[in-house]
Amino acid sequence: MAGTQDRSILAFDEVTVRFDDRAVLDRVSFELHRGESLVLLGEAGSGKTVLLKSALGLIKADGGRIYLFGEDVTKATEQQWYDLRARMGVLFQEGGLFDSLSIEDNVAYPLLNQETLRCPEEEMARRVEQSLEFVELGHTLEKFPSELSGGMRRRVGIARAIVTEPELLLYDSPTAGLDPITAATIMALIIKGRDVRRATTVIVTHRYQDGEMLTRYRHDASLGHVVPAAANGSGPRTHYVVLREGRIVFDGSQAEMETAADEYVANFVRRPG
Amino acid sequence: MLDLIKGPILTFQEFVLLAGRATRGIFRKPYYWPDVFTQMDLIGIGSLPVVLLTGFFSGAVMALQMSRALQTYGATSQIGQIVAITLVREMGPVLTALMVAGRNSSGMASELGSMKVTEQIDAMRALGTDPVMKLVKPRLIATATMLPLLTILADFVGIFGGWIVACPLLGLTSDAQYWNNSWRSLEYNDITQGLLKPFVFAIVLSLVGCFYGMKTTGGTQGVGLATTQAVVVASVWVVVLTFLIGRIFVSM
């Protein structure tokens, strides 16, 4: 693994995280290269969010090594993590919007608080506006999170994640609790973010359809919406990782996933009815 | 047996670590002054009515209850002295701290607890802000500044309440004697004790409130639990600390 970390954006090598005496991540290893997308599937409590928070340095690993942007960050200090996080964008499961701040201030927050990203006020206002336009919420600048619907809050979360133009984007259950139409809109925005900004993307979800959409669709800049990707698979590479009780039980492509013999993995692919 | 004490010891260790980080943070940048002033307003101005009422009635009740005992010994002229010393040394700091614990430690625990369960604290860290510097430090500075000031006001209003009962209401002593006795009975030792206590209480109240808020888990139910724990633990610490500080000053 050591030889390939130079090219990888994010890599876990035998990472273990324990809560009390229980291993919530058990010797997890995977690798993600620049421009790739990773779909992380698993049932509730399988360790998906813990994995994402470990990648952000919000939860410390008890064992193994984490590599970010080609560097070993397992022992990074909190200050070093702040610099690393400036290169990452994240959408939390609950949105993580600050309810005491307006939408404009929420989106501007990383630009104001991350030392390496500070920019002049006009530049900041322009980037905030651009980010909100990207998620089609340019008219909500003065509003507060409590005034928006769940789907809109999720879109503001995406705007905040991309405002810094990060190299790595992490989405924690972006479609959880949303109706199918809003969920499709959110996925279309994630695809747009991936294709327009060429960001490496990690998406944590329990819905196979999210991964499917990420693999089978691409954003068409001329049309301004997502279209089915070419069948020859020339789009960005998407691979799937399935977690079960903190362990990786599957790591492969969509085609491999759809033919997986493991009952637990197959359950994600199986369609109701 | 070991498992039984492991939990509280671990919690105390976490509390000490948070206290250490917050205290170290006071001498380090960044300073979020708007947050400090907002908290000062919430704690100082917001608690003023309840603190003044408590102070006033504690002084008045004290004068009322002591009047019978003092009449027995024919020492009603000493009422000002008793009210002033008891209030400045003990009742003022403790009652003010308990009011602020009920009002602000709970508020801090519920506010930070809600932020924790809605992942706002994780978001803060992910977006480049240290939650201890942004959330804990301003509350610590604001409480440590406002609680001694609130205590001074509570002490004064309490002595005034004692005067209302002792002089206009019961006619136990003359106005001049009451105020003269109150003033002259207070020594530097009393004033120091009366100001040191709220300062120490403030550190404990704010840190306990923030600590329970920051370690909240389990959704809205967890927020409720954190709030209750913060008030109970902060109040117990106030009564324990007042004894310990009092013990030091009594032997001085």
Q: pLDDT tens digits for A50-86?
A: 999 999 999 999 999 999 998 999 999 988 999 899 9
Residue A145 within any structural domain of the chain = yes
Q: B11: which residues sit within 8 A by CB, 6+ positions away?
A: none
Judge whether B183 lies within some domain: yes
**Segment A7-32, tens digit of pLDDT:** 689 999 999 999 888 899 999 999 99
In a domain, B163, yes or no: yes
The whole-number average pLDDT for the span B230-250 is: 93
Backbone angles phi, psi at A39, to 5 degrees: -105, 120
Residues B201-228: what's their mean pLDDT?
A: 94
Q: Give contacts of A114 with chain B, Cβ < 8 Å.
A: 127-128
Sign of CA dihedral B226, B231, B236, B237: positive
User: Residue A145: which residues within 8 A CB-CB, separation 6 or more?
Assistant: A95, A97, A98, A99, A103, A106, A153, A156
pLDDT of residue A3: 44
Which letter does DSSP use for residue A206 in this model? S
For the cut 50, the answer to whether the pLDDT of residue B100 exceeds it is yes
More confident call, B211 vs A187: B211
Please count the other Cβ atoms lying within 10 Å of the Cβ belonging to residue A82. 21
Q: Who among B118, B125, B129 is closest to A58 (CB)?
A: B125
Rounded to a whole number of angstroms, the CA Rg of chain B reads 21
Which residues sit opposite A1 in a β-bridge? none
Query: In B, which residues are within 8 Å of A98 by CB distance?
Result: 120, 123-124
Q: Are B179 and B163 in contact (CB under 8 A)?
A: yes
Which domain, by its residues, includes B240?
31-250
Task: pLDDT band for A271, please (50, 70, 90 cuts).
Answer: low
Residue B153 pLDDT exceeds 60: yes
Q: With respect to residue A104, please indicate whether it lies within any of the assigned structural domains.
A: yes
Position A186 confidence tier, pLDDT thresholds 50, 70, 90: confident
The pLDDT value given to residue A233: 53
Cβ A90–B123 below 8 Å, yes or no?
A: yes
* Per-residue confidence band for A236, with pLDDT thresholds at 50, 70 and 90: low
In a domain? residue B104: yes
The confidence band for A4, taking pLDDT boundaries of 50, 70 and 90, is: very low
Flag whether A258 is in a domain: no
Burial bucket for residue A204 (CB in 10 Å: 0-12, 13-18, 19+): buried
Q: Phi/psi at A224 (nearest 5 deg)? A: 80, 15
Confidence of residue B117 (pLDDT cuts 50, 70, 90): very high
Whether A82 and A114 have beta carbons less than 8 Å apart is answered as: yes
Mean pLDDT, rounded, of chain B: 93
Percent of chain A at pLDDT > 70 equals 94
The answer to whether residue B23 is domain-embedded is no
Does B6 fall in a domain? no
Q: CB distance B128–A56 less than 8 Å?
A: no
Inter-chain CB proximity B123 and A115 less than 8 Å: no
Contacts of B122 in chain A (CB under 8 A): 53, 56, 58, 92, 96
Shortest CB distance from B127 goes to which of A53, A93, A114? Answer: A114
Q: Is residue B69, in this structure, part of any structural domain at all?
A: yes
Binned at pLDDT 50, 70 and 90, residue B103 comes out as very high
Q: How many domains does chain B have?
A: 1
Of A91-100, A104-113, A211-220, the range with the highest mean pLDDT is: A104-113
pLDDT bin (cut points 50, 70, 90) of residue A231 is: low
* C-beta atoms surrounding A129 within 10 Å: 16
Q: How many CB pairs under 8 A join A and B?
A: 52
Residue of A nearest to B32 (CA): A113
B118, A86: Cβ pair inside 8 Å? no
Q: B28 in contact with A at a CB cutoff of 8 Å?
A: no
Is residue A103 one of the residues assigned to a domain?
Answer: yes
Give the span between the Cα atoms of B60 and A43, in whole angstroms: 63
**pLDDT at residue B73 above 90?**
no
The answer to whether residue A144 sits within a structural domain is yes
Residue-range definition of the domain harbouring residue A155? 97-165
The per-residue pLDDT for range A118-133, each reduced to its tens digit, is 888 888 999 999 899 8
Which residue in the set B119, B129, B130 is minimally distant from A96, CB to CB? B119
Distance in Å, alpha carbon of A125 to nearest chain B alpha carbon: 17
In a domain, B1, yes or no: no
pLDDT band (50, 70, 90) for residue A1: very low
Residue A229 — pLDDT band, cuts 50, 70, 90?
confident
Whether the Cβ atoms of residue B208 and residue B171 lie closer than 8 Å to each other: no
Q: Is residue B14 less than 8 Å (CB to CB) from chain A?
A: no
CA dihedral sign, ordered A58, A63, A67, A72 = positive
B209 has a pLDDT exceeding 70: yes
Q: Among A94, A114, A160, whose Cβ lies nearest the Cβ of B118?
A: A94
| Tally of domains within chain A | 1
Q: Among A78, A93, A113, whose Cβ lies nearest the Cβ of B127?
A: A113
Chain segment B131-146, per-residue pLDDT in tens: 999 999 999 999 999 9
Query: What pLDDT score does A74 carry?
Result: 92
pLDDT band for position A272 (cuts 50, 70, 90):
low
